[in-house]
Amino acid sequence: MTPTKIAAPGRFITFEGIDGAGKSTHLAATVARLRARGLEVVETREPGGTALAERLRGLLLHEAMSLQTELLLMFAARQDHLDHLIRPALARGAWVVCDRFTDSTYAYQGAGRQMGAEVVARLEALVHPDLQPDQTFYFDLPPALAAARRAQARAADRFEAEDLAFFERVRGGYLQRAQADPRRFVIIDAAAPIEVVATAVATGLLP
């Protein structure tokens, strides 16, 4: 009897880092590389990724709100994104490549906004107790360098308008997450020349 062929399970890859670290370029290259392997790839982002979550993104980036509201809206957007895009894609064997996920919440709301990791962990346990990225590329960059890069780009949103001390805390939050889970995280030196960064991402990518 021929064994039933089981579709390869999907993989969940996330890209993280402070604003201005340059992750978006390398995310796009990663998606192209995976598609060249013949895989189905879903490219998405947080907050966002579904119609509802994209509307919440608009509010999160531009409307004034309390810290707790911000935190809850991040997870509300994530719940919708998981229900309607991420989980179905992984279930059918697709690879999901996501610009930011819950590590961003630990870094920005937990560390940057100083809400602490515990409250983030409680919401994570509610929204996705069973799911973690298979691999996370963390683009590490000194906040002063990131700010200089951002200054050449577009107008700042509510997060990008924060000061260096905020981004130092965000960076600290990320490094703590990365050091606690070295199997999942690939730390990329985002200060390196773009080709060096590109090679580091390509080499680190899951087979």
Binding site for ligand TYD (CB under 6 A): 19, 45-47, 74, 99-100, 104-105, 108-109, 157, 159-160
User: Which of residues 26 and 100 has its CB atom nearest to ligand TYD in the complex?
Assistant: 100
Kindly write down the DSSP assignment for every residue of 119-130, as one continuous string. Answer: HHHHHHHHH-TT
CB of 47 to ligand TYD, least distance (A): 5
User: Which of residues 160 and 200 has its CB atom nearest to ligand TYD in the complex?
Assistant: 160
CB of 104 to ligand TYD, least distance (A): 4
Cβ proximity of 21 and 139 under 8 Å: yes
Which distant-in-sequence residues (6+ apart) come within 8 Å of 16 by Cβ? 23, 100, 101, 103, 104, 107, 136, 137, 138, 139, 174
Q: How many separate helices (H) and strands (E) can be counted in the chain? A: 9, 5
CB of 18 to ligand TYD, least distance (A): 8
CB of 119 to ligand TYD, least distance (A): 13
Cβ proximity of 43 and 162 under 8 Å: no
User: Which of residues 30 and 105 has its CB atom nearest to ligand TYD in the complex?
Assistant: 105
User: Which of residues 36 and 64 has its CB atom nearest to ligand TYD in the complex?
Assistant: 64
Q: Which amino acid appears at position 82 of this protein?
A: L
User: Which of residues 30 and 109 has its CB atom nearest to ligand TYD in the complex?
Assistant: 109
User: For residue 87, what is the enclosing H or E element?
Assistant: helix 87-91
User: Which of residues 140 and 160 has its CB atom nearest to ligand TYD in the complex?
Assistant: 160
CB of 49 to ligand TYD, least distance (A): 10
CB of 177 to ligand TYD, least distance (A): 12
Cβ proximity of 73 and 53 under 8 Å: no
**Alpha carbons within 13 A on the beta-carbon side of 183:** 3
